Structure 1
Amino acid sequence: MNAEKKIHKTDFLIIGSGIAGLTFALKTATHFKDAKITIVTKNEKNECNTKYAQGGISTVWDKTVDSFDQHIKDTLIAGDGICDEEVVEMVVKEAPKRLQELIDWGTKFDKDKNGTYSLGREGGHSQDRILHHKDITGAEIERALIEQVEKFENINFLTYHYAIDLITEHQVKKKQTKRQEKITCYGAYVLDEKKSIVKTFSSKVTMLASGGIGQVYITTTNPVIATGDGIAMAYRAKAEISDVEFIQFHPTALYNPGEYPAFLISEAVRGEGAILRDFNGKRFMHKYDEREELASRDIVARAIDSELKKSGAPYVYLDCTHINFEEFQKHFPNITEKCMSLGIDVRKDFIPVSPAQHYICGGVNVNKKGKTSIKNLYASGEVTRSGLHGANRLASNSLLEGLVFSHNAFENLKKRFSKIKFPKQIPVWNDSGVVKNMEKILITHDRNEVKTIMSNYVGIVRSNERLLRAERKLKVLYEDNKRLYDHSELSVDLCELRNLITTAYLITQFSKTRKENKGGFYSADLVNEL
């Protein structure tokens, strides 16, 4: 591994290529025509959590039956008292404009036979308000955004470039900073995976849009790239982090042992009328919530978890047999095809499902403008704690969050970008003292151990004893990994392991301090609401 001696200057450095990062890139490239925008992404251009979003984006589109007040209320109920109400109101009221922008950029949402947009409903929503593209909405959005980004000559899109660490006073002034001190972000160190060199990027503004943390758990709907990189990087840079104990488990991932990541059976399927049944074929959601199958995700996931523990079965069933097959196949072609490939005919067979980690509701603190506690570091999307989701995300609010906060960050920078200067001098990456004799089996073993610890002790239902065990085991892993990281040649696998351990430890620590069951946090030692 070599460190490049040159400094790569870019006005805007964007880490991540999902809806949040690409929206920010498009807006800055359009307005700041002479600015240089660099997007770094650790895999292919479209490999991100956005790509795997099935359901769609929520917005009040038909005001004859829906209203901002209803969408706000649904979001607040799902967030279980932890949402920032001003943020929720802002996002909901901005939603139609941001969705229209997506449409103008070429996103094709489904329409009915009359040519009006077909609106779906998911758990926690009181009205049909989900714009979607079949059951691959995220992939369609990603296609449209990348197509637009590629039109701009001032956007440099670097694939297979992995952000290692943010550059702050710690590197520039060679001093340790405290979390409450004024800290500035000057760019990032980035590993060029194909050339095996570390590049130093100096930027006026850095946008952190790196997505989720799904690989912390054994079973997740997230792609393999979702390793908590952004939260861990921001934490090491002393950014403020909060609410990471709130982990949303999607209730209905297809039960298919050995498949990775887990295939998601969209919540929109229940919105279309699908029924949950236990291992013996009996309905059970009425025992847990009056909304039954349309209760919020945290409630449905805990209900399924409870039923699985009672029966000892590995899955429950999702019954779609009563839904019109032609309509089902039209709306959910990929789900239909996937089930058929496994011998499950949704016309007559129940779909076996079980919960899987899906979304983290906390992360790097941002204000309404997308600004973090670190100067010139913005963040947007799942990596953040914006105040929108509270303790539990309302279905299909996540893509919307990325759109709104990336827009707000851009609007803020229109006013202040001209005053931001490049740092006078930043150090290049120091790779002295490393060796090449690292055994990859150590990384593989530790990565699997992190996932096992988190799934067993910091999952849907937690307890004080489980959290203490997780803490002890993660401390040992941290020390082992630190020795490995400090003395071994860098690789993406090693950096990801470092971030997974950091993120897992943060989730565990925040869980220890939470003293009330809320949304995606549930402890058996607290009052049992089920």
Structure 2
Amino acid sequence: MTPTIMDIGGAPLIVGAGIAGLMTALHLAPEPVVLLSSTPLGTGGCSKFAQGGLAASLGCDDSRELHLSDTLAAGDGLCDQAAVRRMVEAAPKAIEDLERFGVAFDRGPDGALRLGLEAAHSCRRIVHAAGDATGRELVRALIAAVRRTASITILENMEARRLIVEDGAVVGVLAVGGTDVVTISTSRVVLATGGIGGLFCDTTNPLGSFGHGLALAACAGAELADLEFVQFHPTALDSPLRPMPLISEAVRGEGAVLINERGERFLADTPGGELAPRDVVARVVWHQIAAGRSVFLDASKCLGPSLGKRFPAIAQLCREAGIDPATEPIPVRPAAHYHMGGVAVDAAGRSSLNGLWACGEVACTGLHGANRLASNSLTEAVVTAAWVAESVAGASPDCRRRLFPALVPPRPDPSCIRPVVSHALGIIREGETLRKAAAALLSIAADNEAASDSAVVALMIAIAALRREESRGSHYRSDFPGRDADASPSRLTLRTAIQAAVALGWRAPTRSHVT
């Protein structure tokens, strides 16, 4: 099939319409830009599910240096300190930018921003909107701002299937909308496609968030970084719903405690208790469940009847599950939540591939290291969107039109690899299990089938996890429980991942996604 060519006049193309994509488009105004969304605007992606807020040093007892040190501590030695410093210094202005675009943040009776506390933060610095519905409020306001901006063209219900590369540079995007196949000619592409939680059976992410942007970048030859670091949120509502409803860390910040079915507070002797770093809490909860115990979050004593007012969305979720959180403990379990790894980018959001930028969770900026500090992710998406927009605007467009005959990959479907990923790449990992998973994933990645793109991403994560023979942050190897003092951030391309698989004795694929 020969796709139809869509001429966008040299404008940049943003793939993804969550907070990172929306903010990048707004910061590019008044330069023309095209925003590509695989669903109707506001209905897909992770952004609207974010209950937590944005971390910024705004309190009188806080400082940028304190925010910096908390972020570095959570990142467990793998943060890029320059990237962290730049982000924490820009965070307060990011809050102002959001208010300028119409976001209504929560304020106290005195009119000051209400600041919340979350795990591993030294003080209250989390800015929320609509209580526990920050993501929903941000998406609402930013979509309204985008629709008001004449320079932004929105293409809804259109999914990017491949980046088109010539001579080591992006020259277009192959996309599918319904029965229409189009190639969008552009030399400037921004990936803002979110995370990978949908690769796992238990996740707080929409099932459509399965690393699609990482597959696009990897298959085009871009370098990816820190893929082994997947953060599991310790307190997802233990229910059949997918995505799993999140019980925000802010509830623990108000004093809720984790107990088992015996009523034992099993984190009492853990430094930091319920507000220890997420990887620590998730592993302790995992061990309780692995031992056959049920785990609950009890907010009845610290919040009681006030929980419904402070966290209305969570209270409603619990009521729908037949639980009164004001008087009953809430059943919880860990779930895949956030990916610290992503497309390796520089300070301007540029990838290793000319003409490709990345922003938000799909990018790896060096901010999060081995374990993201709570509520730094929304801040990162908002802050880096401005830097990406400035870089994109400063890049000269290549307006030459090309014909792009191309094989159209099938619509991605990760369902058959979720059990493999969940078993091998969960909270506790082990070398032999990783090797078996990678072998299975390699054969799927080599074929042009619905699961192949997802298998590409999962394979690269498995290889990264095998290479890191230590336990650090969110990456825990039961066969390497210690920490390697000489370990450093990791980088991979799809080609080097396949080469690593071959070196381990696996059969090389007959076909490759590498362009």
Length-normalised TM-score, structure 1:
0.87
**1:66 paired to 2:62:** yes
User: Which residue number in structure 2 is paired with residue 355 of structure 1?
Assistant: 334
Residue of structure 2 aligned with 1:77, choices 73, 90, 98: 73
Task: Report what 1:202 is aligned to.
Answer: 185
Q: Does 1:524 align with 2:507?
A: no
1:421 aligned residue? 397
Provide the residue aligned with 2:434 in structure 1. Answer: 467
Deviation, 1:284, is: 1.0
Matched, 1:411 2:390: yes
Instruction: Map 1:93-172 onto structure 2 (within 5 A).
Output: 93-133=89-129, 134-169=131-166
Q: How do 1:347-496 residues align onto structure 2 when only pairs under 5 Å count? A: 347-414=326-393, 416-417=394-395, 420-431=396-407, 447-479=414-446, 481-482=447-448, 484=449, 494=450
Q: Name the counterpart of 2:512.
A: none
TM-fit CA distance, 1:158: 1.0
Give the alignment of 1:317-328 within 5 angstroms. Answer: 317-328=296-307
Task: Indicate the SS of the match to 2:461.
Answer: helix
Matched with 1:490 is none
CA distance in 2, matches of 1:299, 1:153: 47
Alignment of 1:189-268 (within 5 A): 189-193=174-178, 196-256=179-239, 258-268=240-250
Question: What amino acid does structure 1 have at the position aligned with 2:261?
Answer: F
**Separation in structure 2 between the aligned mates of residue 373 and residue 425 of structure 1, nearest angstrom:** 24
Report the Cα distance in structure 2 between the residues aligned to 1:272 and 1:378, rounded to whole angstroms: 38
Q: How far apart are residue 7 of structure 1 and its match?
A: 4.2
SS of alignment partner, residue 69 of structure 2: helix
1:491 counterpart residue number: none
Return closer, same or farther for 1:138/1:326 CA change in 2, 3 Å cut-off: same
Structure-2 change in CA distance of 1:456 and 1:276 (3 Å)? same
Identity of aligned residues (%): 37
Distance in 1 between residues matched to 2:222 and 2:399, nearest whole Å: 19
Q: Does 1:187 align with 2:172?
A: yes
* 1:363 aligned partner, one-letter code: G
1:510 aligns to what SS in structure 2? Answer: helix
CA, structure 1 residues 6+127, in 2 after alignment: closer, same or farther (shift >3 Å)?
closer
Alignment gaps of 5+ in structure 1: 174-182, 485-493
1:7-26, aligned counterparts within 5 Å? 7-26=7-26
Q: SS at 1:520's partner residue? A: coil
CA offset digits 1:305-342 (Å, max 9, x no partner): 111112x13x3010101123353222210111111222
1:178 equivalent in structure 2: none
Report the 3-state secondary structure (helix = DSSP H, G, I; strand = E; otherwise coil) of the residue aligned with 1:408.
helix
Q: Structure 1 residues 362 and 109 mapped into 2: Cα distance closer, same or farther (>3 Å)?
A: same
Distance apart, 1:5 and its partner CA: 4.7
Residue 478 of structure 1: how far off its partner (Å):
2.4
The CA distance in 2 between the partners of 1:7 and 1:184, in whole Å, is 18
Shift of 1:8: 4.4
C-alpha distance in 1, partners of 2:235/2:180?
41
In the aligned structure 1, how far is the partner of 2:63 from the partner of 2:6?
A: 54
Q: What's 1:180 paired with?
A: none
Does the 8 Å CA contact 1:10/1:38 hold for their aligned counterparts?
Answer: no
Task: Please report the RMSD computed on the Cα atoms of aligned residues, expressed in angstroms.
Answer: 1.9
Q: Within 1, Cα distance between the matches of 2:40 and 2:453? A: 20
Deviation of the 1:2 alpha carbon:
6.6
Q: Deviations over 1:41-72 (max 9, x none)?
A: 1112112211111011110112x211111111
CA contact (8 A) 1:72 1:89 kept: yes
2:416 counterpart SS class: helix
| Contact 2:6-2:185 at 8 Å conserved across structures | no
Amino acid in the other structure paired with 1:112? G
Cα–Cα, structure 1 residues 2 and 52, in superposed 2: closer, same or farther, change >3 Å? farther
| Counterpart position of 1:92 | 88
For residues 28-49 of structure 1, give each alpha carbon's deviation from its aligned partner in whole angstroms, at most 9, with x where no partner exists: 123x2xxx31110111211221
Which whole-Å CA distance do the structure 2 matches of 1:324 and 1:513 have between them? 44
What amino acid is aligned across from residue 22 of structure 2 in structure 1? L
The 3-state SS of whatever aligns with 1:356 is strand
CA deviation digits over 1:131-154, x for unaligned, max 9? 102111001000110100001222
Cα deviation for residue 473 of structure 1 reads 1.5
Deviation track 1:241-299 (CA, whole Å, cap 9, x = no partner) reads 1101000000000001x211101001111111100112311011134x31010011111
CA distance in 1 between counterparts of 2:94 and 2:420 reads 40
Of 351-360 and 36-45, deviating more is: 36-45
After the TM superposition, which of the residue ranges 64-73 and 321-330 deviates more from structure 2? 321-330
Determine the C-alpha separation between the residues in 2 that align with 1:342 and 1:230: 33
Does the aligned pair in 2 maintain the 1:3–1:431 contact within 8 Å? no
**Offset at residue 207 of structure 1 (A):** 0.8
Is 2:261–2:296's contact at 8 Å kept on the other side of the alignment? yes
Q: Which moved more, 1:447-456 or 1:470-479?
A: 470-479
Match for 1:225: what amino acid? Answer: G
Contact 2:228 2:462 in 1 (8 A): yes
Number of positions where the alignment pairs a residue of Structure 1 with one of Structure 2: 481
- The answer for the alignment partner of 2:505 in structure 1 is none
The residue matched to 1:448 in structure 2 has which SS? coil
Q: Give the distance between the partners of 1:254 and 1:3, measured in 2 at CA.
A: 44
Supply the AA of the counterpart residue of 1:449.
C
**How much does 1:365 deviate?**
0.5
Deviations along 1:209-263, one digit per CA (max 9) or x if unpaired, are 111111110010001220211111101111111101000000000001x211101
Shift of 1:475: 2.1
Give, as a single letter, the amino acid of the residue that structure 2 aligns with 1:291. G
How many Å separate the matches in 2 of 1:119 and 1:285?
Answer: 25
**SS at 1:286 equivalent:** coil
